[in-house]
Amino acid sequence: MRKAIAALLIISFLNSDLLAAAAGTTLFNFLKIPLNASQAATAGINALNIHSAGSNPAMIPFFDRTSLSASYAAYFQDTSFHSLSLTIPFKGDYHGVNIAYGGFDYGKMDAYLEDSAGDYVANGTFGASDAFFGASYGRRITNAIYAGAGVKYVRQKIDDSDISGTVLSAAAMYMSDETWYMSAGADNIGSAVDGYQMPSSFYISIADSPQELNSMFMYGVELRAFFDETVWLKGACEFNYEKKLFARLGYSCPLINNNSSLSESWYGRNLSAGFGIEYGFFSIDYAWLPFGDLGNTNMVSLQITF
């Protein structure tokens, strides 16, 4: 009985405002959290800059040096998200790999047992966590087309219960000779686990001219449709001063919501913002993510380039 109650607590938690994700009929919703503060500050768009390479493998070919980043975000009541991402470019014709890890720690929760009278009594505490380990490969196909694909092993632990699954992702990008580029892909595609679907989605992004993704001012939009019948239109921009100081802003606008687990009050809190500082081989990024009555979430990322 204790395991059943624990599972119900986790499902209730996943349905809360915290993850900015429609949980109801899907599992592993932490996969929707951006891996780093730069991407989080720009509404989680998958193709605005190379910081999204961990979730968009078509961005990997734009790295010319090995990059290691670590991120951390504290939510509420001892819950937190953390990630690592390592991108390694290969010598030659614009290709490389990304190795990533992400985890969500739910902290300690009270455990309960049902007694003979049908009441629930406290019985210590238990822990719960989600994690993924992923690898992806990206390369330049032609001077205008880039593509990549990846796989993630996903695992959830609730007390002494343990479930896992595998998801696939793929992306492609077309870079115009004019003033724009476009990226499209599929995220977290996989079979159901224990009767719950993966948080799968398709997206298409359009942004301004990348100039090798080093423009002083970048902006873009993304249309993303999830299998749980939610559709989002996202917009974001990034301004940088001499590639040393960065300012970012994003907003997510709901177009369709057929998932009853997302209330209308939640939909009014979709702003994101942040800044970054880069100096030589080192950079730090910050993202501010408001969650209404739950307070604000702060994500920080550190990146080292070799």
What b-and-e string marks burial along 165-182, b requiring 16 or more CB atoms within 10 Å of the CB?
Answer: bebbbbbbbbbeeeeebe
Neighbours of 66 (CB within 10 A): 13
Q: In sequence order, which residues have a C-beta less than 8 Å from that of residue 151 and are 6 or more positions away?
A: 134, 135, 136, 166, 167, 168, 169
For position 176, what pLDDT does the model report?
77
Cα–Cα–Cα angle for 260, 264, 270, rounded to 5 degrees: 115
For position 21, what pLDDT does the model report?
37
For position 75, what pLDDT does the model report?
80
For position 269, what pLDDT does the model report?
59
pTM comes to 0.84
The pLDDT tens digits of the residues spanning 99-121 come to 999 999 988 877 777 777 777 77
For position 277, what pLDDT does the model report?
97
Of the chain, the percentage scoring pLDDT greater than 70 comes to: 83
Reported confidence tier of residue 255, pLDDT bands at 50, 70, 90: confident
For position 65, what pLDDT does the model report?
93
Average pLDDT, the chain: 83
Residue 184, strand partner residues? 172, 204
